[in-house]
């Protein structure tokens, strides 16, 4: 990896995965008790997870759209060729966000009585991200 900005991007992606992975597994494994009815996410962790979640969502959807448009131009608008030629960093970001988002959404849906509100927000943000990816893909394949 010769690009230092790419290293920073992968560090940010790793922080995103670790923060939301920790929140997801913490809530998944939480057992309510008389003294603690719901899991408590530390404020700083929640703020950082939200910031990284929003940043990764925005950047992956935007980069996917930009790169897909560029690859389509290079492949004479052959969608399959363009998608298969997307760069590895874009694929890693998109897949990482998708996997984490689906995991957190499943945890939220299966633990609604104890899951903190931040999980609902992130799960719904993942749905918004999926719509953004769809729009980016559709726009990239349009002829206007």
Q: For the segment 81-98, what is each residue's pLDDT rounded down to a tens digit?
A: 777 778 888 889 999 999
Output the pTM of the full model.
0.85
Which residue carries 């749905």 as its tokens?
A: 127
Q: Is 63 within a domain?
A: yes
Q: What is the pLDDT of residue 10?
A: 92
Q: CA–CA distance from 89 to each of 3, 26, 27, 99, 104 (Å)? A: 12, 28, 30, 15, 22
* Domains: count for the chain: 1
Residues whose CB is less than 8 angstroms from the CB of residue 103 and which lie 6 or more positions away in sequence, other chains included: 20, 21, 24
Range of the domain at 81: 49-144
Q: Is 9 within a domain?
A: no
- CA-nearest of 69, 86, 92 to 11 is 92
Q: Is 138 within a domain?
A: yes
pLDDT above 70 for 13: yes
Q: Is 55 within a domain?
A: yes
Q: Is 33 within a domain?
A: no
How many Å separate Cα 34 from the centre of its chain?
Answer: 34
Helical segments of the chain, H only:
4-29, 43-74, 79-84, 88-110, 117-141
Q: Is 44 within a domain?
A: no
Task: For residues 112 and 55, give the distance between their C-alpha atoms in angstroms, rounded to a whole number.
Answer: 25
Question: For residue range 42-55, what is the model confidence (pLDDT) as tens digits?
Answer: 999 999 999 999 99
């Amino acid at each position: 990896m010769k690009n230092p900005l790419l290293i920073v991007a992968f560090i940010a992606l790793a922080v995103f995965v670790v923060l939301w992975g920790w929140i997801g597994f913490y809530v998944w494994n939480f057992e309510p008790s008389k003294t603690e009815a719901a899991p408590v996410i530390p404020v700083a962790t929640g703020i950082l997870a939200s910031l990284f979640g929003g940043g990764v969502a925005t950047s992956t959807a935007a980069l996917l759209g930009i790169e897909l448009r560029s690859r389509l131009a290079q492949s004479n608008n052959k969608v399959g060729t363009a998608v298969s030629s997307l760069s590895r960093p874009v694929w890693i970001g998109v897949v990482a966000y998708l996997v984490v988002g689906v995991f957190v959404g499943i945890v939220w849906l299966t633990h609604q009585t104890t899951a903190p509100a931040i999980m609902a927000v992130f799960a719904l943000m993942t749905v918004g991200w999926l719509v953004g990816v769809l729009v980016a893909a559709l726009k990239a394949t349009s002829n206007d």
